């Protein structure tokens, strides 16, 4: 019979947290920026079909970093939660706060009860009628939840990217400015030498995945669903646009 | 062991909202209610019934229109009811039959299509949408046997083939693709008669709208459960067109002009039928 060694709860939690943190830092970053036109979600992602950004409901989007299978199952669970809620009550009763708290509970339960914690970090964004009413929630692997203001940077070299975004972020940014700022931030992430070499270096449209939540989707496009994924030519056009 | 886990994951992976509800929240499905067996024996339940829907193809797409009346026996239950709905960006559906269940089925169908799109990242094919609607109608069969039937009409633009297509259904969920035009509901025979004379291939959109309104006018003329255009209350049929650019509701002002023109022409003729 093997002897079970005693491990203190503090040590156990710390080991799990370190494990999850390492997994998340290994990937590439995702940036979520609230601006005048709505919310822009930008991820460094060379794959055109394995998305890190997804639509949850009319005004709610999802962005994630970490292990694809883990955040994809969370995304699908979120879509199911939102659709069941909207179907049984009403469409306007689906809120980012409700969804974020369900995510927090499931991440927390997995962190303490399962063999291994989820190596993911999530952002839940809800676009409001004005920028002050936008909601950005950051959810980490242990189920903690933070209500962020302005922007969220997750995964990879998050601190370095975050510094660039914090410097350039203004509430008056349009989508073009926000996406340009995000790609500049993402480009600064992996290799600091490149950043110094050519200031303002950005990623090509092929290397990023961009989606937006339109603040005025009803009036501008006639859709209740604010989420819109941008293809390569949209991104190139947006990046070339003047502020 | 590993294989059973894989099977389990594959079995649980569904992109269908209806399947998800069936598994987790069967109480939310419109047709999964237990009805007392005695109910069937007594007189049929008095509930609002939605009536006539017409659909037709025109040059570039398909069009669907419905009158605004719901009846309960000999009583008009609603003058404002809407029975044609956008299902998603490229399809519309119209419903005839028990209004309460039909409206819930429509809501479920709308969520079903949106749910698939969000989970899979692509739109369901038009045939896929038509089959899902058929499965829902089949799910309602026990209720239909107790007199609470729902009969839809489905029209959409097939983005791969580049054509508008029409589908009709029976209460068992049987799906039939229609060419040219089709009608359902209590006034359908009269509307169909009118369409046979008024419809011709490759109508322009404005002409198609006029033909649809006129066929509903004829249905209302002979069927008491179908409502005609109502200039007193300013109520006009609900008309949707679907073409390459997606589904569009014809604005009230346009319908008022079209209906006004038809009423005027019929008054000028001073004829009995």
How high is the pLDDT of residue B218?
92
Spell out the alpha helix ranges (H) of chain B: 2-12, 17-24, 38-41, 99-120, 126-139, 141-145, 188-198, 205-222, 252-269
In the predicted model, is pLDDT for residue A190 greater than 70?
no
**Closest by alpha carbon to B146, among B37, B55, B269?**
B37
Choose the weakest-confidence range: A81-85, A100-104, A219-223, B6-10: B6-10
Confidence bin at A195 (pLDDT 50/70/90): very low
Separation of alpha carbons A24 and A214, rounded Å: 29
The predicted complex's ipTM stands at: 0.89
What is residue B168's three-state secondary structure?
strand
Our measurement of the distance from residue B15's CA atom to the centroid of its chain's CA atoms, rounded to an integer in Å, reads 23
- B128 C-beta neighbours (distance < 10 Å), count: 12
Question: pLDDT tens digit string along A164-182?
Answer: 999 889 888 899 999 999 9
**Cβ A79–B111 below 8 Å, yes or no?**
no
- B11 C-beta neighbours (distance < 10 Å), count: 8
**Cβ A88–B107 below 8 Å, yes or no?**
no
Choose the weakest-confidence range: A215-229, B196-210, B226-240: A215-229
How high is the pLDDT of residue B42?
60
How high is the pLDDT of residue B13?
77
Chain B residues within 8 A of A56 when measuring between CB atoms:
118
Separation of alpha carbons B255 and B244, rounded Å: 22
- The closest CB to that of B119, out of A49, A79, A84, belongs to A79
Confidence bin at A196 (pLDDT 50/70/90): very low
- Output the CA–CA distances (angstroms, integers) from residue B262 to A104, A147, B67, B222, B242, in the order listed: 60, 59, 15, 16, 23
How high is the pLDDT of residue B48?
83
Separation of alpha carbons A175 and A217, rounded Å: 14
Q: Which residue has the higher pLDDT, B107 or B272?
A: B107
Question: pLDDT tens digit string along B75-126?
Answer: 888 999 999 999 999 999 999 998 888 999 999 999 999 999 999 988 999 9
Chain A residues within 8 A of B118 when measuring between CB atoms:
54-56, 79, 83
How high is the pLDDT of residue B14?
83
Question: Tokens 């007189």 map to which residue?
Answer: B43
Report the length, in residues, of chain B.
Answer: 273
In the predicted model, is pLDDT for residue A193 greater than 50?
no
């Amino acid at each position: 019979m093997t002897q079970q060694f005693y491990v203190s709860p503090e040590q156990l939690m710390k080991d799990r947290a370190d494990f999850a943190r390492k997994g998340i830092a290994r990937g590439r970053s995702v940036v979520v920026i609230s601006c005048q036109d709505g919310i822009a979600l930008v991820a460094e992602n060379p794959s055109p079909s394995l998305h890190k950004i997804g639509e949850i409901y009319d005004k709610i989007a999802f962005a994630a970093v970490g292990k694809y299978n883990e955040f994809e199952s969370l995304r699908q669970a979120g879509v199911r939660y939102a659709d069941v809620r909207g179907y049984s009550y009403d469409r306007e009763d689906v809120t980012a706060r409700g969804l974020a708290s369900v995510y927090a509970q499931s991440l927390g339960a997995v962190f303490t009860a399962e063999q291994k914690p989820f190596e993911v970090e999530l952002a839940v964004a809800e676009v409001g009628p004005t920028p002050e009413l936008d909601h950005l929630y950051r959810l980490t692997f242990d189920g903690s939840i933070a209500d962020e203001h302005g922007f969220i940077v997750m995964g990879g070299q998050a601190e370095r990217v975050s510094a660039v975004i914090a410097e350039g972020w203004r509430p008056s940014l349009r989508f073009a400015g926000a996406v340009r700022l995000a790609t500049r931030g993402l480009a600064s992430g992996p290799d600091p030498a490149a950043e110094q070499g050519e200031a303002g270096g950005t990623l090509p449209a092929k290397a990023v995945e961009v989606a937006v939540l339109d603040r005025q989707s009803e009036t501008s496009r006639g859709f209740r669903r604010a989420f819109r994924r941008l293809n390569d030519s949209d991104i190139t056009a947006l990046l070339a646009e003047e502020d | 062991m590993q294989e059973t886990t894989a099977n389990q994951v594959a079995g649980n992976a569904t992109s269908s909202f209806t399947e998800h509800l069936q598994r987790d929240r069967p109480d939310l499905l419109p047709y999964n209610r237990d009805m007392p067996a005695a109910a069937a024996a007594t007189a049929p339940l008095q509930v609002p019934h939605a009536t006539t829907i017409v659909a037709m193809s025109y040059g570039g797409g398909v069009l669907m229109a419905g009158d605004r009346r719901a009846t309960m026996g000999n009583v008009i239950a609603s003058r404002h009811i809407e029975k044609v709905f956008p299902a998603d960006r490229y399809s519309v559906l119209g419903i005839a039959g028990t209004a309460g269940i039909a409206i819930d089925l429509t809501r479920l169908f709308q969520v079903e299509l949106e749910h698939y799109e969000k989970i899979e990242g692509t739109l369901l094919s038009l045939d896929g949408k038509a089959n899902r609607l058929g499965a829902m109608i089949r799910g309602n069969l026990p209720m239909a046997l107790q007199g609470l039937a729902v009969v839809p009409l489905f029209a959409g633009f097939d983005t791969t083939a580049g054509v508008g297509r029409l589908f009709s259904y029976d209460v068992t969920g049987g799906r039939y693709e229609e060419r040219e035009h089709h009608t359902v509901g209590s006034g359908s025979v009269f509307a169909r008669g009118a369409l046979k004379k008024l419809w011709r291939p490759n109508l322009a959109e404005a002409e198609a709208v006029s033909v649809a309104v006129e066929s509903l006018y004829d249905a209302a003329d002979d069927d008491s459960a179908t409502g005609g255009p109502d200039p007193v209350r300013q109520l006009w049929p609900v008309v949707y067109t679907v073409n390459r650019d997606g589904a569009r509701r014809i604005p009230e002002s346009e319908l008022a002009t079209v209906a006004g023109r038809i009423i005027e022409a019929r008054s000028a003729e001073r004829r009995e039928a």
